[in-house]
Amino acid sequence: MKITACRFHVSATRPEDFPRDGWAQIAFMGRSNVGKSSLLNRLLGARGLARTSKEPEMTEVHDRRILELQRRMKDDRVDAFLISDPDSVYYFCGFWGYLEMEFGRPTVLVVPQSGEPKLITPAMEADMARRLTGMANLLEWTDGVGGEWMEHLATLLAANRSKSVMVEWYKTHPRIMSAAQEAAEDAKFRDGTAAISAMRMIKSADEIATMRQAGQVAVAMLEGGRVAIAEGVPEYELALAVIAAGTRKAAE
């Protein structure tokens, strides 16, 4: 059999989410990060169709978060959620860019009510985004070429026929907001901060472990400063002691 074309249909973590189209379905089973997604991509001849991640469990974690957000969107009758806050982008797909709107180069995660989300990101960060997220639907843009990121955003909103769009009201840069409103001028824009905040309020075991480690590092830094402080000790020596203590604790 020769596969000439394939596309992502839906992400499902529960039997009730499985497609009901009458076609035969094949399941790949195995522990985290043993190569299920890589094998599927190889068989289909489609790089990046199935998401992969170098961090164990993270592909599943991000998929669960996206599905939960989409469930909330469906309940609220929201067609699309535009996420541009770096913390929120990282929370939902694992990517943290270095450019952002500070340099006029935003990264925007567009989540539809159903189906795979799409990440709009500068071309110079696209390879990093691809490696960190494993997302197949990654849209690159370059300064001065075509309509840049605004063109991708307009295309996605139009394709989704968005009539109700959520954003994090006070975390969305005015330029992104303006571009979105211009692209979907008939859509109603709503604040989705509460939806994301409610999800992030409940921490996973990995997040709790990270918070505990951060606390331990902070305590070690304070102790390093306490031991080093004395009359006549230069301030930069205290700073070095604090940094060294934190670094040693984080490396344990």
The answer to the question of residue 83 being in a domain is yes
The answer to the question of residue 186 being in a domain is yes
Are both 236 and 142 inside the same structural domain? no
Number of domains in the chain: 2
The per-residue pLDDT for 28 is: 81
**pLDDT at 32 > cutoff 80:** no
Are both 219 and 195 inside the same structural domain? no
The answer to the question of residue 240 being in a domain is yes
Are both 188 and 226 inside the same structural domain? no
The per-residue pLDDT for 199 is: 95
pLDDT band at 47 (very low <50, low <70, confident <90, very high): low
The per-residue pLDDT for 7 is: 67
pLDDT band at 1 (very low <50, low <70, confident <90, very high): low
Residue, of 173 and 39, whose pLDDT is higher: 173
Are both 58 and 165 inside the same structural domain? yes
**pLDDT at 50 > cutoff 70:** no
Are both 149 and 225 inside the same structural domain? no
**pLDDT at 11 > cutoff 70:** no
The per-residue pLDDT for 10 is: 63
The answer to the question of residue 29 being in a domain is no
Q: What is the pLDDT of residues 191-221, one digit of tens each?
A: 999 999 999 998 888 889 989 999 999 999 9
Are both 89 and 212 inside the same structural domain? no
The answer to the question of residue 166 being in a domain is yes
The answer to the question of residue 18 being in a domain is no
Are both 132 and 175 inside the same structural domain? yes
Are both 73 and 186 inside the same structural domain? yes
Are both 191 and 224 inside the same structural domain? no
Pick the last residue of a domain from 201, 225, 240.
Answer: 201
Are both 195 and 241 inside the same structural domain? no
Query: What is the DSSP annotation of the chain?
Result: ------------SSGGGS--SS--------STTSSHHHHHHHHHT-TTSS---SSTTHHHHHHHHHHHHHHHHHHTT-SEEEE--HHHHHHHH----S-BGGGTB--EEEEESSS--EEEEEHHHHHHHHHHH--S-EEEE-TTSTTHHHHHHHHHHHHTT-SEEEE-TTTS-HHHHHHHHHHTTTSEEEE-HHHHHHHHHS--HHHHHHHHHHHHHHHHHHHHHHHH--TT--HHHHHHHHHHHHHHHHH-
What percent of the chain clears pLDDT 90, i.e. is strictly above it? 61
Domain that holds residue 97: 54-201
The answer to the question of residue 226 being in a domain is yes
The per-residue pLDDT for 38 is: 74
The answer to the question of residue 165 being in a domain is yes
Residue 68 maps to which CATH number? 3.40.350.10
pLDDT band at 141 (very low <50, low <70, confident <90, very high): very high
Are both 96 and 144 inside the same structural domain? yes
| Threshold 0.85, pTM exceeds | no
Are both 161 and 213 inside the same structural domain? no
Q: Which long-range contacts (CB under 8 A, 24 or more apart) does 230-237 make?
A: none
